[in-house]
Amino acid sequence: MTNSEKAYAVIMAGGSGTRFWPLSRSNRPKQFLALGPDDRSLLRATAERVWDVLPPERTFVVTSEQLREQVERELPELQPEQILAEPVGRNTAPCIGWAATHVKRLDDDAIMAVLPADHYIRETEAYVDTLRRGLEAATHGDYVTIGIRPGRAETGYGYIEVGSEIDPGVFRARRFVEKPNRQRAEQFVANGNFLWNSGMFFFLASRILEAIDQHLPGLGRELQRYDVAARAGNEAALVRETYGALPAVSIDHGIMEKVSAVSVVPGTFEWSDLGSWTSAWELASQDERANVLPEGAIAVDASGNFVSAPDGKLIALVGVQDLVVVDAGDALLIVPRERAQDVREVVAALRERGDQRR
Amino acid sequence: MTNSEKAYAVIMAGGSGTRFWPLSRSNRPKQFLALGPDDRSLLRATAERVWDVLPPERTFVVTSEQLREQVERELPELQPEQILAEPVGRNTAPCIGWAATHVKRLDDDAIMAVLPADHYIRETEAYVDTLRRGLEAATHGDYVTIGIRPGRAETGYGYIEVGSEIDPGVFRARRFVEKPNRQRAEQFVANGNFLWNSGMFFFLASRILEAIDQHLPGLGRELQRYDVAARAGNEAALVRETYGALPAVSIDHGIMEKVSAVSVVPGTFEWSDLGSWTSAWELASQDERANVLPEGAIAVDASGNFVSAPDGKLIALVGVQDLVVVDAGDALLIVPRERAQDVREVVAALRERGDQRR
pLDDT digits (tens, 9 = 90+) for B306-317: 999 999 999 999
Cβ-Cβ contacts under 8 Å, B312 against chain A: 330
Distance CA A128, CA A131 (A): 5
- Asked if residue B288 and residue B155 are part of one domain, the reply reads no
Q: Check B318 against A331: CB less than 8 A apart.
A: no
Sort residue B322 into left (φ over 0), alpha (ψ -120 to 50) or beta.
Answer: left
Range of the domain at B293: 277-352
Distance CA B209, CA B199 (A): 18
How confident is residue A124, by pLDDT bands cut at 50, 70 and 90? confident
Q: Check B331 against A309: CB less than 8 A apart.
A: no
Nearest CA in chain A to B335: A318
Count CB atoms within 10 A of the CB of residue B257: 14
Strand partners, B159: B177, B196
Asked if residue B285 is part of any domain, the answer here is: yes
- Asked if residue A247 and residue A339 are part of one domain, the reply reads no
Whether residue A212 is predicted with pLDDT greater than 60 in this model: the reply is yes
Q: Rounded to a whole number, what is the distance in Å from the CA of B71 to chain A's nearest CA?
A: 27
pLDDT digits (tens, 9 = 90+) for B166-213: 999 999 999 999 899 999 999 999 999 999 999 999 999 999 999 999
The whole-number pLDDT of residue A2 equals 44
Q: Check A334 against B334: CB less than 8 A apart.
A: yes
- Asked if residue B191 and residue B301 are part of one domain, the reply reads no
Whether residue B159 is predicted with pLDDT greater than 80 in this model: the reply is yes
Compute the residue count for chain A.
358
CA–centroid distance for A240 within its chain? 24
Q: Check A350 against B298: CB less than 8 A apart.
A: yes
Q: Rounded to a whole number, what is the distance in Å from the CA of B321 to chain A's nearest CA?
A: 10
The whole-number pLDDT of residue A156 equals 87
Q: Nearest Cα to A336, choosing from B27, B213, B302?
A: B302
How confident is residue A3, by pLDDT bands cut at 50, 70 and 90? low
- Best probe of the A interface among B24, B332, B344, B345, by most A CBs < 10 A, is B332
The whole-number pLDDT of residue B35 equals 86
Q: Check A323 against B334: CB less than 8 A apart.
A: yes
The whole-number pLDDT of residue B202 equals 97
Interface of B with A (CB under 8 A): 22, 296, 298, 300, 309, 312-320, 323, 325, 327, 330-336, 339, 342-343, 345-346, 349-350, 355, 357
Distance CA A323, CA A292 (A): 10
Q: Check B342 against A319: CB less than 8 A apart.
A: yes
Q: Check B336 against A315: CB less than 8 A apart.
A: no
pLDDT digits (tens, 9 = 90+) for A246-297: 999 999 999 998 998 899 999 989 999 998 999 999 988 899 999 999 999 9
Per-residue burial over B132-150, b if 16 or more Cβ lie within 10 Å, else e, is bbbbbbbbeebbbbbbbeb
- Best probe of the B interface among A323, A332, A343, A356, by most B CBs < 10 A, is A332
Per-residue burial over B268-277, b if 16 or more Cβ lie within 10 Å, else e, is ebbbbbbbbb
- Asked if residue A251 and residue A177 are part of one domain, the reply reads yes
CB pairs under 8 A between A and B: 109
The whole-number pLDDT of residue B1 equals 46
Last residue of some domain: B246, B272, B298?
Answer: B272
Last residue of some domain: A272, A297, A326?
Answer: A272
The whole-number pLDDT of residue A1 equals 46
Whether residue B127 is predicted with pLDDT greater than 70 in this model: the reply is yes
Contact in structure between B18 and B344 (CB atoms under 8 Å): yes
The whole-number pLDDT of residue A27 equals 86
Q: What is the dihedral of CA A347, A349, A351, A356, to 10 degrees?
A: -70
The whole-number pLDDT of residue A17 equals 79
Asked if residue A357 is part of any domain, the answer here is: no
Q: How many domains does chain B have?
A: 2
Average pLDDT, chain B: 94
> For residues A343 and B151, which has the higher predicted lDDT (pLDDT)?
A343
Of B296, B298, B345, the CB nearest to A300: B345
Q: Check A309 against B300: CB less than 8 A apart.
A: no
Whether residue B5 is predicted with pLDDT greater than 60 in this model: the reply is yes
Asked if residue A358 is part of any domain, the answer here is: no
pLDDT digits (tens, 9 = 90+) for A99-120: 999 999 999 999 999 999 999 9
- Asked if residue B257 and residue B347 are part of one domain, the reply reads no
Strand partners, A211: none
CATH number at residue B182: 3.90.550.10
Asked if residue B357 is part of any domain, the answer here is: no
Last residue of some domain: A252, A272, A292?
Answer: A272
Asked if residue B358 is part of any domain, the answer here is: no
Residues 6+ apart with CB under 8 A from A224: none
Cβ-Cβ contacts under 8 Å, B357 against chain A: 314
Contact in structure between B170 and B266 (CB atoms under 8 Å): no
pLDDT digits (tens, 9 = 90+) for A304-330: 999 999 999 999 999 999 999 999 999
- Asked if residue A197 and residue A309 are part of one domain, the reply reads no
- Asked if residue A168 and residue A148 are part of one domain, the reply reads yes
- Asked if residue B265 and residue B284 are part of one domain, the reply reads no
Whether residue A41 is predicted with pLDDT greater than 70 in this model: the reply is yes
3-state secondary structure (DSSP) of residue B101: helix
Query: ipTM for the complex?
Result: 0.86
- Asked if residue B229 and residue B82 are part of one domain, the reply reads yes
Of A300, A327, A357, the CB nearest to B332: A327
pTM value is: 0.86
Nearest CA in chain B to A298: B346
How confident is residue B38, by pLDDT bands cut at 50, 70 and 90? confident
Distance CA A300, CA A291 (A): 11
Nearest CA in chain A to B348: A298
Per-residue burial over A152-188, b if 16 or more Cβ lie within 10 Å, else e, is ebbeebbbbbbeeeeeeebbbbeebbeebeeebbeeb
Asked if residue A226 is part of any domain, the answer here is: yes
- Asked if residue B66 and residue B163 are part of one domain, the reply reads yes
Q: Check B335 against A318: CB less than 8 A apart.
A: yes
Q: What is the dihedral of CA A172, A178, A182, A185, to 10 degrees?
A: 0
Of B317, B339, B349, the CB nearest to A334: B317
- Asked if residue A320 and residue A215 are part of one domain, the reply reads no
Of B313, B319, B355, the CB nearest to A331: B313
Looking at this protein, which amino acid is placed at residue B265?
Answer: V
Cβ-Cβ contacts under 8 Å, A300 against chain B: 342, 345-346, 349
- Asked if residue A307 and residue A240 are part of one domain, the reply reads no
Give the residue-averaged pLDDT of A236-242: 96
| DSSP E strand stretches across chain A | 7-12, 59-64, 83-86, 111-116, 120-121, 143-148, 159-167, 170-177, 194-204, 262-267, 271-272, 298-300, 306-308, 314-318, 323-327, 331-336
Give the residue-averaged pLDDT of A147-152: 92
